[in-house]
Chains A and B, each alone.
Chain A
Amino acid sequence: MSTSLIPLSRLHKSQHAIVKKIDESLLPHNVELTKGELERRILEIGIIEGIELKILHFGLINQDPIAIQLVHSGLTVAIRRNEAEIILVEQITGTNHAR
C-alpha cells in the first residue's frame, strides 16, 4: 500500500481513501473566492482531515463532477474535479492510483 498523497481527483470509481490534507494553494484553476474560502466550504460540508471517503460516480463529460461518499456519516457530496485537486488523500483499497 502506497503512503504517498494523491489528489482526490485521481482516485478511481469505488476506491476508498483517507483525507490527509486540504490545501488551497494546490488549486489548478482559480475560482472566484476570497482566500481561505474554498477550504472553509470544503470543511463545512464535512470533508476534513482523517475522514474516510469513497468515490461513487463521475459525471459524463471529462468525468466531472465527482460524487463522493463520506463513509461514516453516509453523506454524499458532489465536487468538481478542479476543486477536488486541493483535497489530498491516501488510498486504502486497490493498488493502482495512476490516471
Chain B
Amino acid sequence: MQDSQISPASIHEVAKSQDNNKKLKVALVGKPNCGKTALFNTLTGSRQKVANYSGVTVDRKLGYFVTPNNTQITLVDLPGTYSLRARSPDEQVTRDVVFNQFAEEKNIDVILAVIDATNLSGCLRLILELKQTGIPLLIAMNMSDIAKLRGFEYDLTKLSQILECPVIATSATKQTGINELASALDDFSQLTSDPICTWIEPNQAMVREYHVQVHDIIGQIETKRGIPSIWSERIDKVLLHPVFGLLILLAILFVMFQSVFTWATIPQDFLQGIFDNAQAYVAGLSPNSFIVSLIANGVIAGVGAVVVFLPQILTITLFILILEDTGYMARAAFLMDKLMGGVGLHGRAFIPLLSSFACAIPGIMATRTIENRKDRLVTILIAPLMTCSARLPVYTLLISAFIPRKIIWGFANLQGLVMFALFAAGIISGLIMAFIFKFFFFKGDRQPLILELPSYKAPNPYNVLLELMKPTKAFLKRAGTIILAVMIVIWFLSSFPLPPANATAPAIDYSIAGIVGHFLEPIFAPIGFTWQIVVALIPGMAAREVAVSVLGTIFALSGSEDVVTHSLTTVLQHQWSIATALSLIAWYAFAPQCISTLAVAKRETNSWKWPVIMFSYQLVLAYLSSFVVFRIASLF
C-alpha cells in the first residue's frame, strides 16, 4: 500500500503541464458504511450540489473536482447498496444509474467503487456485480489505514489483476491516497458507445457462487491476516447488553436533550443580545417611521427570534451525526427493534424517526431505507409527531416563561425535564398511532430484520463539519427567505389598517390580523387560545418556529412597551394563564403545523391520500389533547 499525505485542496488546483478539456462523469458506488460519503466529501470538499431527480425521491448529490491532469470530474454520489438487486427505492436509483437506464443520469463514464478494507468479504460481491455493467471500474479501497492497524495486508497489484481494474488504497479520514485516486481517473476516457451489460439478477445459488469467488479472491490477495476489531466486540458487550445497552441509549438521549438546554443557551443568549440591541438601535432611529418599524419590529425581531435557535438545532444535529458516524445508530436499531416491533414498526424505522427530531423532512426522506411500502408509510405518517427542532423555539419560549428554572433530584434541570417529557410524549403518541395505523390500514406479515452492525469508528471531524453545514445553510436560507417574507406579510397585516385617531385598544386590534384572529377565536376558545395565538398559528404553517416571531411582532405592535425592555417571555407571563400556555404546548406537540412536511409526504408517497390522512389525524389529535390539557390545567 502506498500512502501519500495530501490535502484535498491540492487536487483542485489547476493542472501543471498540458491543457486538457477532458470531462468525466463518475458514479460513486459502495455498500452502506464503507465510508463512501466521507470519501465524497474529501474529494469534492464544499463543491457540492444537492438536487432532486424528478419522479423519484432520491437526492441527486453531485460534487465537482479537477484531477492533477486537469480532467474535470462530476462525481455522482449514489445511495449505498448491498447488491444490484435493488430492494429499496434508493437502491433502485443506484442500479438504474449504473445500468445507464436512468434518464437524468445517463452517460456515466466510470464507476468509482468504494470497498471497505476492514470488511472485504462484504464488499467484493458488489464489485463482481458491478464488473458486469460494462462500465469501466476504478476501485478505492477505503479505510485502508484502519485495516493496516488491525494487521491486514493485501496485495493490491494482484487484486487489480484479478478484477482487471485499478485499485487504490485510500483513507478518507487520514486523507491518504486521495491524490492517487484523482490521478487514476486521468487514465479513463469518455465512453463513446453504450456499455454492454451482462448482469442478471442472481438467485440463491448464484449468491453462494459469488461468495465462493470472493473467498477465493481474498485467499489470493491476503498477504497477512489481521484481527477484526476487538474493540467493537468489547464495546458491544456493554452497548448491546439487553439492560445496560438500553439504559445507555436512554442516557444518551437524555444527555442530548439536556445539552440543548445547557450548552446551546450560551451562544443563544449571545445571539439574542445582538438582535435585541439591533432592534432597539434601529427602532430608536426614527420612532414614527413605517419603514423603521418594518425593519425593527418585522424583520429584525422576526428573523432574530428564529435565528437564535440555530445553536439548538446545531447541537441536536451534531449528536445525530456523531451517533451515525460512530456506528451507534445501527445498535440503537437493534436495541429498539422489539419495542418498535411491538407496535408494528421495523427496527430500521428508528433512524428515520430519530432524524425527525432534527426535522421531519430529512426523517421522511430517510424512510427510503425501509424496503417494505407498508412499513415505510407508517413511519412517514408518524414522523411529524417526533419533536423536531422547529418546535424548540415554541417550547423553549413557553417553558422558560411558565416552568420555573430549578434543579430537582439534585441534578436535573426542571425545564430540561419538561422538554424531555415533551420529547417522550412525541415518541409515545407516535408509537400509539403506528399501532393504530398498522392495525387499520396495513395488516399483514412483518418484514424481516437483517441488519449489519458496522464496527465502531471515531467520527471524522471534517465529514461531521461538512454534514453539519448542510442543515445550517438550509436553516439560515429559510430564515432569510420564507421566514423573512412571512414576517413582512405579518407585519403588514398586523399594522394595517391603521387604528382610528381616538383608538383605545392596542393598534393591532384594528388590523387585518386582529380581525382574522378575532374571527377565528371562537373555534379555538374551547382550548384556551387567545386571538394572538390564533394569528400566530396561521403563518406558523409555513414554518413552525415562525409562530414565535409572529408573537414577538404582535406583542411589539400591540402597545406593550415592555417588549422593548423585557423579553417576550416576561410579556407572556403577564398575558397568558398557565393553562393556555400548556394547551399551546400540547397543540404544538401534535398539530400539523408544517406545510413542508406535508409536501414531502406527498412527494415521497406519490399521492395526496397520505398527506391528507397525516393532516387530519394530527389536527384531531392536537385539538383533543389541547382541550384535555386546557380543561385539566384550568382546574388548578
A76 lies within 8 A of B243 (CB) = no
Is B203 at the interface (CB under 8 A from chain A)? yes
Q: In whole angstroms, how far apart are the Cα atoms of A33 and B207 in the complex?
A: 17
Chain A 45-60 residues near chain B, CB threshold 8 A: 45-46, 48-49, 56-60
Chain A residues whose C-beta falls within 8 Å of the C-beta of B453 in the assembled complex: 67, 76-78
Chain A residues whose C-beta falls within 8 Å of the C-beta of B333 in the assembled complex: 78
Choose from B207, B227, B339 the contact partner of A40 (Cβ within 8 Å): B207
B452 lies within 8 A of A45 (CB) = yes
A78 lies within 8 A of B229 (CB) = no
A32 lies within 8 A of B240 (CB) = no
Chain A residues whose C-beta falls within 8 Å of the C-beta of B242 in the assembled complex: 57-60, 63
Chain A 1-38 residues near chain B, CB threshold 8 A: 29-33, 36, 38
Choose from B243, B372, B448, B454 the contact partner of A80 (Cβ within 8 Å): B448
Q: Report B231-269 CB contacts with A as 1/0, cut-off 8 Å.
A: 011001100111101100000000000000000000000
Is A41 at the interface (CB under 8 A from chain B)? yes
Choose from A38, A39, A42, A60 the contact partner of B338 (Cβ within 8 Å): A60
Q: How far is the CB of A75 from chain B (nearest CB, A)?
A: 6
A73 lies within 8 A of B121 (CB) = yes
B447 lies within 8 A of A31 (CB) = yes
Q: In whole angstroms, how far apart are the Cα atoms of A64 and B347 in the complex?
A: 12
| Chain A: CB-nearest residue to B230 | A74
B338 lies within 8 A of A61 (CB) = yes
Q: In whole angstroms, how far apart are the Cα atoms of A79 and B347 in the complex?
A: 10
Q: Report B328-365 CB contacts with A as 1/0, cut-off 8 Å.
A: 00100111011101100001000000000000000000
Q: In whole angstroms, how far apart are the Cα atoms of A60 and B340 in the complex?
A: 13
Total A-B pairs in contact (CB under 8 Å)? 137
Contact count band on B: 35 or more
Choose from B204, B228, B240 the contact partner of A74 (Cβ within 8 Å): B228
Chain B residues whose C-beta falls within 8 Å of the C-beta of A64 in the assembled complex: 337-338
Decide: A44 near B334, CB < 8 A? Known: A32-B445, A57-B242: no
Q: How far is the CB of A92 from chain B (nearest CB, A)?
A: 18
B334 lies within 8 A of A59 (CB) = yes
Q: In whole angstroms, how far apart are the Cα atoms of A36 and B203 in the complex?
A: 8
Is A62 at the interface (CB under 8 A from chain B)? yes
Q: How far is the CB of B376 from chain A (nearest CB, A)?
A: 12
Q: Report B196-210 CB contacts with A as 1/0, cut-off 8 Å.
A: 000000111001100
Chain B residues whose C-beta falls within 8 Å of the C-beta of A46 in the assembled complex: 121-122, 211
Q: How far is the CB of A5 from chain B (nearest CB, A)?
A: 18
Chain B residues whose C-beta falls within 8 Å of the C-beta of A56 in the assembled complex: 233, 236-237, 240
B446 lies within 8 A of A29 (CB) = yes
B330 lies within 8 A of A60 (CB) = no
Q: Report B438-452 CB contacts with A as 1/0, cut-off 8 Å.
A: 000000111111111
Q: In whole angstroms, how far apart are the Cα atoms of A58 and B122 in the complex?
A: 23
Q: In whole angstroms, how far apart are the Cα atoms of A46 and B246 in the complex?
A: 27
| Chain B: CB-nearest residue to A37 | B87
Decide: A38 near B334, CB < 8 A? Known: A48-B211, A75-B122: no
B203 lies within 8 A of A65 (CB) = no
Chain A residues whose C-beta falls within 8 Å of the C-beta of B83 in the assembled complex: 44
Is B569 at the interface (CB under 8 A from chain A)? no
Q: In whole angstroms, how far apart are the Cα atoms of A41 and B445 in the complex?
A: 17
Chain A residues whose C-beta falls within 8 Å of the C-beta of B391 in the assembled complex: none
Sample (8) of A-B pairs whose CB atoms are under 8 Å apart = A32-B447, A36-B204, A41-B87, A41-B448, A59-B334, A67-B236, A76-B454, A83-B448
A65-B449, A74-B228, A76-B232 provided; 9 other pairs, C-beta below 8 A? Answer: A36-B203, A42-B450, A44-B83, A57-B241, A58-B242, A60-B338, A72-B121, A74-B229, A83-B450
Q: Which 5 A-B pairs have the closest CB atoms?
A: A74-B228, A60-B242, A76-B453, A32-B445, A57-B240
Interface residues of A (CB under 8 A from B): 29-33, 36, 38-46, 48-49, 56-65, 67, 69, 72-80, 82-83
